[in-house]
């Protein structure tokens, strides 16, 4: 296979997704109106990238058991290349995702084989200059993975683009690990909550400015502001952040919106699309993703193209 690839270093686990009117209070119970069990986590980023035309290599680990079987079946049917053969002695982890009536989601995760990634696993991958490496805070949250990933990232060829999504676990990440990863990050993409936690700034434009010096020179910071769109600022300039508008839709499930955004962003950048235009395309993908239930709801290229043809958002 020639041409650029997305090399995804995060976790693929099982998502147990339940739709509820509201998350119950402590000690309470609630009946779900809808539920599904599916491969999730980083699987959703890779699906999004692949549906928008980018070849995918999954670099992470996975297990053997009831949840590992779900993960293995999804990976085997996906068409992704796999760097690892999996671990026989431990099952994959899983996440219970509660999606409430506002379409907001709340997660509880149990860890499995995905937390056992070693440097030797990563060294199996022959990385090319045109590949895009995607790092997730979910992977960095596991100490064993973090040690392996930090050294491997620092040894990558300088031309390889690294995208980092710090994940909702950003407050729990080792500060030294996160700092070293950001120093090798070309594009940092965080949602509003993550950006506020990382900087202490309520204003998202200000948060983007605070984050910019932490990443590589000539890199860029994206702060995803939900339905409003995405703040974009370059690390090497003093220009004010720009809000790239989102696409108004009727959201039914926000689970997987950030994954769709990240995967399509990577696919556009791999094709040589300018960053601001890549963000527009990623915004469109995220908007389409939240109109469907489930985590792996990233749209196809043709669906994104149709939305973009119908409306081009303004750059505020």
Got the DSSP string for 211-267?
Answer: HGGGS-TT-EEEEE-GGGEEEEEETT--PPPEEEE------S--TTHHHHHHHHHHH
Q: Are 47 and 75 in contact (CB under 8 A)?
A: no
Distance between CA 174 and CA 281 in Å, rounded? 32
Residues 6+ apart with CB under 8 A from 90: 63, 64, 65, 112, 113, 116
Report yes or no on 85 lying in a domain: no
Q: Pick left, alpha or beta for residue 167 (phi over 0 → left; psi -120 to 50 → alpha; otherwise beta).
A: left
Report yes or no on 170 lying in a domain: yes
Identify the residue whose tokens are 């990634």. Answer: 117
Q: Residue 299: helix, strand or coil by DSSP?
A: coil
Report yes or no on 70 lying in a domain: no
pLDDT at 238: 64
For the segment 192-237, what is each residue's pLDDT rounded down to a tens digit?
A: 999 999 999 999 999 999 999 999 999 999 999 999 999 999 887 6
Distance between CA 226 and CA 287 in Å, rounded? 9
Report yes or no on 275 lying in a domain: yes
Report yes or no on 72 lying in a domain: no
Report yes or no on 303 lying in a domain: yes
Tell me the two tokens of residue 228. Answer: 């409003």
pLDDT at 14: 96
pLDDT at 30: 94
pLDDT at 117: 98
Q: Residue 285: helix, strand or coil by DSSP?
A: helix
pLDDT at 315: 43
Distance between CA 187 and CA 257 in Å, rounded? 18
Report yes or no on 21 lying in a domain: no
pLDDT less than 50: residues of the chain = 312-316
Tell me the two tokens of residue 82. Answer: 């796999």
Containing structural domain, residue 234: 5-10+43-61+118-310
How many CB atoms neighbour CB 237 within 10 A? 10
Q: Please give the C-alpha separations between residue 223 and each of 73, 90, 188, in angstroms, as whole numbers.
A: 34, 36, 8
Tell me the two tokens of residue 190. Answer: 């965080």
Record the pTM. 0.92
For the segment 29-38, what is each residue's pLDDT rounded down to a tens digit?
A: 999 999 999 9
In total, how many domains does the chain have?
Answer: 1
Q: Are 286 and 244 in contact (CB under 8 A)?
A: no
From 284, 2, 275, select the one nearest 161 (Cα to Cα).
Answer: 275
270, 72, 125, 286 alpha-carbon torsion, rounded to 10° = 20
Report yes or no on 90 lying in a domain: no
Which CATH number belongs to the domain containing residue 172 in this structure? 3.40.1190.20
Distance between CA 264 and CA 4 in Å, rounded? 14
Distance between CA 181 and CA 204 in Å, rounded? 22
Distance between CA 61 and CA 66 in Å, rounded? 16
């Amino acid at each position: 296979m020639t041409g650029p690839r997305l090399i995804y270093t995060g976790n693929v686990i099982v998502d147990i997704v339940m739709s509820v009117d509201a998350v119950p209070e402590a000690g309470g119970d609630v009946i779900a109106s809808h539920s599904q069990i599916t491969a999730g986590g980083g699987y959703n980023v890779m699906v999004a990238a692949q549906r928008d035309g980018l070849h995918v290599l999954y670099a992470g680990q996975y297990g053997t058991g009831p949840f590992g079987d779900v993960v293995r079946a999804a990976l085997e049917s996906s068409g992704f290349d796999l760097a690892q053969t999996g671990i026989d002695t431990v099952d994959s982890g899983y996440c219970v995702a509660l999606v409430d009536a506002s379409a907001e989601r709340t997660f509880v995760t149990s860890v499995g084989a995905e937390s056992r990634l070693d440097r030797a696993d990563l060294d199996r991958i022959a990385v090319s200059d045109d590949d895009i490496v995607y790092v997730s805070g979910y992977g960095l949250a596991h100490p064993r993975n973090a040690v392996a990933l930090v050294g491997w990232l620092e040894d990558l060829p300088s031309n390889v683009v690294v995208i980092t999504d710090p994940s909702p676990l950003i407050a729990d990440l080792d500060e030294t690990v996160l700092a070293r990863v950001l120093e090798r990050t070309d594009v940092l993409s965080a949602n509003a909550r993550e950006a506020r936690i990382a900087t202490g700034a309520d204003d998202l434009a200000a948060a983007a400015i605070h984050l910019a010096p932490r990443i590589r020179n000539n890199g860029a910071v994206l702060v995803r502001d939900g339905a409003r769109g995405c703040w974009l600022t370059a690390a090497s300039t003093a220009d004010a952040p720009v809000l790239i508008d989102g696409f108004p839709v009727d959201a039914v499930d926000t689970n997987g919106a950030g994954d769709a955004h990240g995967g399509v962003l990577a696919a556009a950048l791999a094709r040589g699309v300018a960053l601001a235009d890549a963000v527009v395309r990623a915004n469109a993908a995220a908007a389409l993703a939240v109109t469907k239930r489930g985590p792996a709801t990233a749209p196809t290229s043709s669906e994104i193209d149709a939305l973009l043809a119908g409306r081009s958002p303004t750059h505020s």
